């Protein structure tokens, strides 16, 4: 039978629903608030969720909207409330709830609603992540308000940031459900009126202005003149100064027009405490899409991800999470997994001059060779001897001859 998650802050209702559903042969997981529901959803996707609207920490509508924004609404959800209104029911249905039950819930209505929900074909939520995926972040709530305020008075905006920005994550916040999206940076052919009409009410996106060719710049100019007519928003990312963009071949009048409306936005590396939550959401989305097997992050692993600078922005985070999940040997992704993937590669040895006499060139090569492997083995002489195939006494003599300093600490650790 089905695995059903019941989320309600009243213990009596949780126990009653659990008893009824178990009598019907279902497996039931209980959550007393939204935090427990998030954890249960993360550990295993339920076949159905019965979700109360009024809860002390986060209300059910907010949690439903959070799951939808994170691409995690891939299971049917039935909302429950003892103080609901028609507007609440309509809002829940709009977000993605499949049914709405008023308390006190009769046995007949409960079982009929559960049966209908479980009979519907399973869906895979592929909604891209956006700032709405982080509803508890005060920092991003403020950024959303600024973004909405700017776009309420302009049909276009340029998101200015240092390298490592997250323009798509921000732009997706402005995409209304069911509306279109065109990435102009991927559009190599001339933009047509038919495409604009098909995307009406949606978003035109440019990840980075500096990457656009002349033909793609013409598409931007074409779209700019028609944004209002087709109720479109144009959102562009930009990590470069105006002078740099002009040197890269941008049309100056077009660029000046675009830069009339800009908004300073943070980079991924500046997200701070929000980064671990976003990394966990990226992982859950990739699991939901079937891209990776089910995994969880250890707290220490998330801490290391938080400390990384993310110069490649959101795309780097997505690829890193996918690589960690694919390469992890256990269910949990550990700090060691993160360190192994994100550790900087050892510096390449400097080139040796071909004009040196043979003896000096050989000594220079040996010095570079031993320094390289000594660094790889973190100064461990036992491992270095095994790697180079030299007996320990001979190895020490050779290192001393080449003027390479070693730490005696490792000799103590190795004994």
**Where is 398: in which H helix or E strand?**
helix 392-401
**Which of the residue ranges 1-15, 37-51, 62-76, 285-299 has the most confident prediction, judged by mean pLDDT?**
1-15
For residue 202, name the pLDDT band (cuts at 50, 70, 90): very high
| pLDDT exceeds cutoff 80 at 125 | no
Helix 313-327 to helix 274-288 angle, to the nearest 10 degrees? 60
Q: Which residue has the higher pLDDT, 146 or 121?
A: 146
Q: For the beta carbon of residue 358, count every other beta carbon within 10 angstroms.
A: 7
CA distances from 371 to 42, 329, 351 (A): 46, 32, 14
Q: For residues 139 and 341, which has the higher predicted lDDT (pLDDT)?
A: 341
Q: Quick one: pLDDT at residue 374?
A: 79
pLDDT score for 347: 52
With cut-offs at 50, 70 and 90, classify the pLDDT of residue 415.
very low
Q: Which residue has the higher pLDDT, 271 or 349?
A: 271
For the segment 126-145, the average pLDDT, to the nearest whole number, is 82
User: Which one has a higher pLDDT value, 215 or 294?
Assistant: 215
When pLDDT is averaged across residues 93-103 and rounded to a whole number, the result is 88
**Rg of the chain over CA atoms, in angstroms?**
28
Calculate the alpha carbon distances from 294 to 34, 301, 322 in Å: 21, 16, 11
Give Dmax over CA atoms of the chain in angstroms.
94
Gap between the Cα atoms of 305 and 321, Å rounded: 10
Residue 158 near residue 231 (C-beta atoms within 8 A) = no
Q: Which pairing describes strands 27-31 and 3-7: parallel, antiparallel, or unpaired? A: parallel
Say what the pLDDT of residue 106 is. 92
- Is pLDDT of 13 > 90? yes
Model confidence at 354: pLDDT above 80: no
352: confidence class by pLDDT, cuts 50, 70, 90: confident
Q: How far apart are CA 391 and CA 401, in angstroms?
A: 15
d(CA 143, CA 409): 51
Average the pLDDT over 64-84 and give the result. Answer: 82
Residue-wise pLDDT for 308-326, tens only, equals 989 889 999 999 999 999 9
Least confident of 27-41, 112-126, 131-145, 322-336: 112-126
**Residue 412 has what pLDDT?**
40
- Cβ neighbours, 10 Å, residue 51: 25
The whole-angstrom separation of Cα 92 and Cα 102 is 13
- Residue 409: its pLDDT value, please? 45
pLDDT beyond 60 at 411:
no
H-helix or E-strand containing 182?
strand 181-183
Average pLDDT over residues 111-138: 79
Does the pLDDT at position 166 exceed 60?
A: yes
Res. 185: pLDDT tops 90 = yes
pLDDT averaged over every residue in the chain? 87
Domains in the chain with CATH codes: 3-119 (3.40.50.2300), 132-266 (3.40.50.300), 273-342 (1.10.8.60), 358-414 (1.10.10.60)
Helix (H) or strand (E) holding 49: strand 48-52
Q: What's residue 26's pLDDT?
A: 95
Choose the weakest-confidence range: 88-97, 196-205, 216-225. 88-97
Which long-range contacts does 334-341 make (Cβ < 8 Å, 24+ apart)?
334/298, 334/300, 334/301, 335/298, 335/300, 335/301, 335/303, 335/304, 337/301, 338/301, 338/304, 338/305, 339/304
The whole-number pLDDT of residue 253 equals 95
pLDDT at 344: 63
* pLDDT at residue 388 tops 90: no
CB-neighbour burial class of residue 156 (10 A; exposed 0-12, middle 13-18, buried 19+): buried
pLDDT of residue 229: 96
- Cα–Cα distance, 126 to 132 (Å, whole number): 15
Residue 268 has pLDDT above 50, yes or no: yes
| Spatial distance between the Cα atoms of 195 and 230, rounded to a whole number of angstroms | 10
Residue 413 pLDDT grade (very low, low, confident, very high; cuts 50, 70, 90): very low
Confidence class for position 110, pLDDT limits 50, 70, 90:
very high
More reliable by pLDDT, 375 or 102: 102
- Per-residue pLDDT at 379 exceeds 80: no
SS3 string, 317-383, reads HHHHHHHHHHHCCCCEECHHHHHHHHCCCCCCCCCCCCCCCHHHHHHHHHHHHHHHHHHHCCCCHHH
């Amino acid at each position: 039978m089905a695995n059903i998650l019941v989320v309600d802050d009243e213990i009596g209702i949780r126990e009653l629903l659990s008893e009824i559903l178990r009598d019907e042969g279902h497996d039931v997981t209980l959550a007393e608030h939204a935090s427990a529901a998030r954890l249960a959803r993360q550990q295993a996707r339920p076949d159905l969720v019965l979700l109360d609207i009024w809860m002390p920490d986060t209300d059910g509508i907010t949690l439903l909207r959070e799951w939808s924004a994170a691409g995690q609404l891939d299971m049917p959800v039935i909302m429950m409330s003892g103080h609901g209104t028609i507007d609440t029911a309509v809002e829940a249905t709009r977000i993605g709830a499949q049914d709405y039950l008023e308390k006190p819930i009769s046995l007949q209505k409960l079982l009929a609603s559960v049966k209908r929900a479980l009979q519907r074909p399973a869906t895979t939520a592929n909604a891209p992540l956006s700032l709405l995926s982080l509803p508890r972040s005060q920092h991003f709530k403020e950024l959303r308000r600024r973004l909405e305020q700017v776009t309420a008075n302009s049909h276009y905006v340029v998101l200015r940031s240092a390298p490592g920005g997250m323009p798509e994550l921000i732009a997706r916040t402005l995409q209304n459900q069911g509306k279109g999206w065109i990435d102009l940076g991927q559009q190599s052919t001339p933009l047509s009126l038919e495409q604009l009409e098909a995307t009406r009410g949606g978003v035109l996106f440019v990840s980075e202005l500096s990457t656009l060719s002349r033909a793609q710049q013409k598409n931007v100019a074409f779209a700019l003149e028609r944004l209002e007519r087709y109720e479109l928003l144009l959102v562009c990312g930009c990590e470069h100064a105006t002078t740099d963009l002009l040197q890269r071949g941008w049309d100056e009048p077009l660029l000046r027009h675009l830069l009339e409306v800009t908004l300073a936005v943070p980079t991924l590396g500046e997200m701070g405490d929000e980064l671990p939550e976003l990394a966990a959401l990226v992982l859950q989305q990739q699991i939901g899409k079937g891209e990776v097997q089910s995994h969880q992050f250890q707290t220490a692993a998330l801490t290391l991800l938080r400390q990384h600078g993310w110069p490649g922005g959101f795309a780097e985070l997505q690829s890193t999470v996918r690589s960690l999940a694919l390469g992890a040997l256990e269910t949990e992704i550990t700090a060691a997994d993160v360190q192994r993937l994100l550790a900087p590669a050892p510096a390449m040895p400097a080139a040796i001059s071909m004009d040196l006499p043979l003896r000096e060139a050989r000594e220079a090569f040996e010095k570079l060779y031993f320094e390289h492997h000594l660094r790889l083995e973190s100064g461990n002489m036992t491992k270095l001897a095994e790697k180079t195939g030299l007996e320990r006494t001979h190895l020490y003599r050779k290192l001393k001859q080449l003027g390479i300093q070693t730490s005696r600490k490792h000799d103590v650790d190795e004994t």
